[in-house]
Amino acid sequence: MPTLPKLLFSVMALVAADARAAADPQSYAETDKVRVSALKLNLEVAFKSSQLVGTAELTLDWRDKTARTLKLDTRDLAIASVEAIGADGKAEPVKFDLGSRDKILGTALVIELPQQAPKVKIGYATSPQASGLQWLPPIQTAGKKHPFLFSQSQAIHARSWVPLQDTPAVRFTYTADLRVPEELRAVMSAGNDPKHRLTGLFHFEMDKPIPSYLLAIAVGDIAAKATGPRTAVYAEPSMVEKAAKEFEDTEKMIVATEKLYGPYRWGRYDILVLPPSFPFGGMENPRMTFATPTVIVGDKSLVSLVAHELAHSWSGNLVTNSSWKDIWLNEGFTSYVERRIVEAIYGREQADMEDVIGQFGVKQEMEGLAPGDQVLALKPLDGRDPDEALTEVPYVKGAWFLTFLENAYGRATFDAFVRGYFDHFAFQSIDTDTFLAYYKKNLAQKHPGKVTDAQLDAWLNQPGIPAFAKAATAARFEKVDAARASWLAGKTPAKDIDSGKWGTHEWVRFVEGMPEKLDEKQLADLDEAFKFTGTPNGEIAQRWYPLTVRSGYAKARPAIETFLISIGRRKLIMPTWEALTATPDGLAFAQGVFEKAKVGYHPITTASVTAALEKAKK
């Protein structure tokens, strides 16, 4: 039994955590009064109307015994009914109101209850334009025969397809019953059976508490192929074999991570390869990572994306940032763990190259960021869409900070600390202050004199990269840098560069180290030797095409148009869109391409490109 001081501390900590969660500026939910603890979905997937139609039953944990109001987050949902369900199971209609719509937050669903009910049941339908759902017609799929649906709930898009408390501070279990066309397969961020018969009915259970942004659904012509005892790849039939081959090391990655940071706690780890309109590289939906096909290049050079999404099974899914201002707790830890997985499976050289590329990229990005967006411990994102506020800073600077701590305390000591951190906060949502308190008690105080408070402050609260930070190096890049320098000096024609053993990372380094602009002869020389224009490798394309735009290399424009229309992954295409909008001619070209591209884009990508075009017009 805990002593009175310990018990009092626990109560005070819970109250403080509730207060911080209630202040999440991206949610209407009053989580200090009541929290959703379980969700039960019963939905029909209606492709003809591009809607989900059905009910959401919420189990409620009342924190304030005087509260009678439940506030939920919604975005463009049509609410048909709300019922309170008593302890006896009887349902009674209750009053509800939808407030005015905020362009970022959506609309608060305010439910007035005569008494605190253990559950409420909401009948609703989604909008065909739901920001967290993409409905693809058959023509936009690989097979061209069946439609496809997939979700993207992060950061605050779950509210566009489920009425709930859409804040990472709240965790809940869920079940779902889906009705879909009989020829299609449904999957969710829950237990999935690769042998499930296509009957049109699917039941899912997630018995681990997750935050709302990890709710996920996909429905389409989806095949499955096992890649290990607890792993499988799901994809359209024409893609599944190729994807399974690319991701065949997934089980090895799980084993390597378990050795470092403790058991994998989610049962299965499956991967769904989505159509190319998916706006992100991957999404760490528990038990079912959603992945872009752009990482399937045939040589496993980009499978660090799988390492990253798998790492989220410990950092993010298991221990979660309680609001989006603390996203470095998710992405910084995950990027650090990703590096350790890559090192364990593919060697230190590959991990070092990926570190160098990441650090180069974040330094470039910081040149255009406000000082307040260059820190890890961000201020509350009041009035900001967390999708647009997200940068590479929490990923790369966060991992760099953790590597600094590893070097300061020693790898063995730091590994034990990180493993203990995951165990201590498992299935909880925390903020930076909570992390710091745990760090000081369990690392700094046990090993004094290793890291100063000023150094911590420089990493967490100051813009830029600390002057004392040690940059990553990669020996294989020395030859790449020398080859580029010799070519730029006119000493070596592109065709004579010894690049036969280069992989994606060397090519990325070669291109991104070029000057801001090249002349047409130089670009043509590179194109003739290496066929950069039209490359199927998105990591190379996202660096090559902006260079051609800045340099006025018009020959690349047809390939640029094809690239921007065929891929919806924001990371890969936004650098080219932004380069195009820098000149009147480029903007005119971009507007024409966008008219063709946007029909195949996810709403998140559409919003990002629209914002870039509107900014350029002004």
Joined together, the tokens standing for residue 337 give 């763990």
174 with 263, same domain: the answer is no
Does 601 reside within a domain?
yes
Measuring CA to CA, which residue among 392, 415, 371, 388 is closest to residue 260? 415
3-state secondary structure 468-533: CCCCCCCHHHHHHHHHHHHHHCCCCCHHHCCCCCCCHHHHHHHHHCCCCCCCHHHHHHHHHHHCCC
State the pLDDT confidence band at 22, using cuts at 50, 70 and 90: low
State the pLDDT confidence band at 10, using cuts at 50, 70 and 90: very low
320 with 306, same domain: the answer is no
**Burial label, 100 (beta-carbon count in 10 A; 0-12, 13-18, 19+):** exposed
Residue 510 CB partners (closer than 8 Å, separation 6+): 480, 483, 484, 499, 502
**Chain centroid to CA 207:** 22
pLDDT tens digits, one per residue of 494-524: 999 999 999 999 999 999 999 999 999 999 9
**Structural domain that includes position 367:** 314-461
Is 395 assigned a catalytic role? yes
C-alpha–C-alpha distance, residues 599 and 501, integer Å: 39
C-alpha–C-alpha distance, residues 69 and 295, integer Å: 46
The enclosing domain of 301 has a CATH number of 3.30.2010.30
The enclosing domain of 81 has a CATH number of 2.60.40.1730
Is 309 assigned a catalytic role? yes
C-alpha–C-alpha distance, residues 185 and 205, integer Å: 16
Is 548 in contact with 533 (CB distance < 8 Å)? Answer: yes
Does 502 reside within a domain?
no
Active-site residue (options: 395, 421, 545, 601): 395
Q: Is 86 annotated as a binding residue?
A: no
Tell me how crowded residue 63 is: count the other CB atoms within 10 A of its CB.
16
C-alpha–C-alpha distance, residues 419 and 259, integer Å: 10
**C-alpha torsion sign, points 273, 276, 282, 283:** negative
3-class secondary structure, 81: strand
pTM above 0.75, yes or no: yes
Q: Is 95 annotated as a binding residue?
A: no
554 with 532, same domain: the answer is yes
Tokens 């070097």, residue located: 407
Is 480 in contact with 510 (CB distance < 8 Å)? Answer: yes
Does 487 reside within a domain?
no
Q: Largest Cα–Cα distance in the chain?
A: 84
Does 258 reside within a domain?
yes
Does 475 reside within a domain?
no
Which of 13-22, 150-159, 572-581 has the lowest average pLDDT?
13-22
- Whether residue 350 has pLDDT greater than 80: yes
Q: Is 153 annotated as a binding residue?
A: yes
Q: What is the mean pLDDT of residues 248-269?
A: 96
Joined together, the tokens standing for residue 49 give 């109307």
Strands of 223-228's sheet in order across? 223-228, 231-235, 269-273, 288-291, 282-283
Does 512 reside within a domain?
no
C-alpha–C-alpha distance, residues 276 and 142, integer Å: 9
C-alpha–C-alpha distance, residues 359 and 13, integer Å: 36
State the pLDDT confidence band at 226, using cuts at 50, 70 and 90: very high
C-alpha–C-alpha distance, residues 43 and 77, integer Å: 14
Is 569 in contact with 281 (CB distance < 8 Å)? Answer: yes
Is 429 in contact with 24 (CB distance < 8 Å)? Answer: no
Tell me how crowded residue 350 is: count the other CB atoms within 10 A of its CB.
20
pLDDT tens digits, one per residue of 362-375: 999 999 999 999 99
Q: Is 220 annotated as a binding residue?
A: no
- The whole-chain average pLDDT of the chain stands at 94
C-alpha–C-alpha distance, residues 169 and 330, integer Å: 13
428 with 280, same domain: the answer is no
Say what the pLDDT of residue 3 is.
Answer: 41
State the pLDDT confidence band at 269, using cuts at 50, 70 and 90: very high
Bridge partner residues of 82 (DSSP): 122
- Whether residue 202 has pLDDT greater than 80: yes
549 with 441, same domain: the answer is no
Tell me how crowded residue 157 is: count the other CB atoms within 10 A of its CB.
24
In degrees rounded to 5, what are phi and psi of residue 275? -60, 160
Report the domain count for the chain. Answer: 4
Q: Is 602 annotated as a binding residue?
A: no
Q: Is 301 annotated as a binding residue?
A: no
Measuring CA to CA, which residue among 180, 174, 210, 202 is closest to residue 56? 174
pLDDT tens digits, one per residue of 428-483: 999 999 999 999 999 999 999 999 999 999 999 999 999 999 999 999 999 999 99
The enclosing domain of 544 has a CATH number of 1.25.40.320
Does 273 reside within a domain?
yes
- Whether residue 601 has pLDDT greater than 70: yes
286 with 355, same domain: the answer is no
- Whether residue 159 has pLDDT greater than 80: yes
Please identify, among 280, 312, 344, the residue that sits at the C-terminal boundary of a domain: 312
- Whether residue 164 has pLDDT greater than 60: yes
226 with 300, same domain: the answer is yes
119 with 49, same domain: the answer is yes
Q: Is 571 annotated as a binding residue?
A: yes
Q: Is 26 annotated as a binding residue?
A: no
C-alpha–C-alpha distance, residues 392 and 530, integer Å: 29
Active-site residue (options: 57, 83, 246, 309): 309
186 with 231, same domain: the answer is no
Is 270 in contact with 233 (CB distance < 8 Å)? Answer: yes
322 with 305, same domain: the answer is no
Q: Is 384 annotated as a binding residue?
A: no
Q: Is 37 annotated as a binding residue?
A: no
Please identify, among 312, 327, 356, the residue that sits at the C-terminal boundary of a domain: 312
Does 511 reside within a domain?
no
Q: Is 152 annotated as a binding residue?
A: yes
The enclosing domain of 320 has a CATH number of 1.10.390.10
409 with 527, same domain: the answer is no
Joined together, the tokens standing for residue 269 give 């780890």
Q: What is the mean pLDDT of residues 561-582?
A: 94
183 with 244, same domain: the answer is no
